[in-house]
Copies of this chain bind each other. A is one copy, B any other.
Amino acid sequence: MLNKLYVALIHYPILGREEQIISTAITNFDIHDISRSCRTYNIKNFYMVSNLPAQRKIVNNVVDYWREGYGSTYNPNRKDALSVFKIVEYLEDAIEDIEKIENEKPKIVFTSAKPREKAIDFSELSKVIEEEEAPILILYGTGWGMPEEIRDICDYDLEPIRGNSDFNHLSVRAAVAISLDRLIGEKVLNNKNNI
């Protein structure tokens, strides 16, 4: 359903350079850019997931400035964009929050820039998003990507974005923007009129 979509950006557990499990540092631009993209495509909540209390504290300071501080009147569009933003400790907290809102567990979508067998393609997942009654949560990784333990709990595994070159190192901000545009684009929920 186009009105039950959620996005999460994972900072833990994440793969490090040597495939070890790490916590990545939060990037300020991710807060703003991804909130703005999510708000554009009608995503209900954008969860940033970090297990590090000091990182969550910094994020809350930044977000408070734009939601309630001087930033909220200086640039009200930022405030509007951040209305979809939530910071949580673990992925399970995001899942639980969605369950509380929707009274139903979300279907979870894994994403990665790495080519994998049996991944669902953009047009197939786009159809699922239109037809599925349950909420849908799309996960994006940081660092060197999300570990298998996250992929194991996912219902769908989305194909990587390819351009028309041999280079596949988009920023996560660009990857979220492009994939939301491919999956949702300008589709408007029309069940009131058409059903």
Contact = CB atoms under 8 A, between A and B. Distances in A.
Interface of A: 2, 29, 32-33, 36-37, 39-42, 77, 80-81, 161-165, 167-171, 173-178, 180-182, 184-189
6 contacts: A33-B174, A37-B174, A77-B167, A163-B184, A174-B177, A177-B178
A112 to B, nearest CB: 15
Nearest to A37: B174
Given A37-B170, A77-B169, A169-B81, A164 B185 contact: yes
Contacts of A186: 162-164
Given A37-B171, A39-B165, 6 more contacts: A29-B29, A40-B169, A81-B167, A163-B184, A164-B184, A175-B177
Nearest to A75: B169
A9 to B, nearest CB: 14
B33 A164 contact: no
Contacts of A169: 36, 39-40, 77, 80-81
